[in-house]
Structure 1
Amino acid sequence: MRRPLLARRALLLGAGAATLLAACAQGAEPLAIQVYKTPFCGCCTKWVEALRAAGLKPSINELDDLTPVRATYGVDDTLSSCHTARIGGYTIEGHVPPSDILRLLQERPKALGLAVPGMPIGSPGMEMPGAVAEPYATLLLLDAKGATRVFARHG
């Protein structure tokens, strides 16, 4: 007899939480994200478009060299990609899906941020017509020495 009651409570709680999240999302200001990219990178521009489509508000800073930015925010060279971003005190390196960024901001783990090293085909901004998407992982950056763990898998 208790199980149906617990299931009903869980269902009602879940429905209430979903309604609250939807209401908050509709009335909330877009989350600002600072993007650092080189002026000649087309895939970075496509990634910024994906951020906008997800409801984020990117501000773009074009620099000829991103090495100092990565060093400032603790991104190890082995994890680098073609752009770096900052949001909510976290660093975002590479073609991280916007859904992973939003999850990071919701969960708020103790970490430096997220990274998708390299430029995997099929990741946001790296979609190519006719190309098969590569499986890739979004890594949680644990420290400036390059320690990571898998945050999400894609493809």
Structure 2
Amino acid sequence: MHSTNSIVFLAFVICFLSLIHLTHGETYFNVKGKVYCDTCHVQFITKATTFLQGAKVQLECKNKETNEITIRKEAETDESGEYHIKVKGDHEEELCQVTPISSPDPECNKISQDPFVKNAGQISLSHHKGITSKTRNANPIGFLKETVLPQCSEILSQMGVTAYGLVP
């Protein structure tokens, strides 16, 4: 009787370990982020910000040494301006970033050309960097509104920000 129990227990352990391997064997990440209309041309979210449904972004990973593109995926934002991209594999030896492609709003579809403004959000797609979650949150991506909204000066003043920096 004792050996039968041992065999059953051993079989159970083997099956359980096999199930763990199946559920944890494949590495994947969920990249998510928001796309907004930068109504004040400040490159960050304010009270006047609106989020864009139907905007397109691209996730691209490149080998750090060869600069070869290893993955390229596009996504479109939902009604809240959020996108989700599922990525297979660990990309530890790669530089990955999310960049804007297009905005459905003809009044808010410009990408900043300012050399000091980064239009891409770098993101780590590796479990070897100390991040345990499979979800990766990218920085918000903004398209510039054609004309700055009139209320932006007041909004920025309330935040303690001016076009030239902090309010004294």
More helix by share: 1
Same fold (TM over 0.5): no
Q: Calculate the TM-score normalised by the size of structure 2.
A: 0.22
Q: Calculate the TM-score normalised by the size of structure 1.
A: 0.23
Higher relative contact order (Cα pairs below 8 Å, separated by 6+ residues): 2
Structure with larger Rg: 2
More strand by share: 2
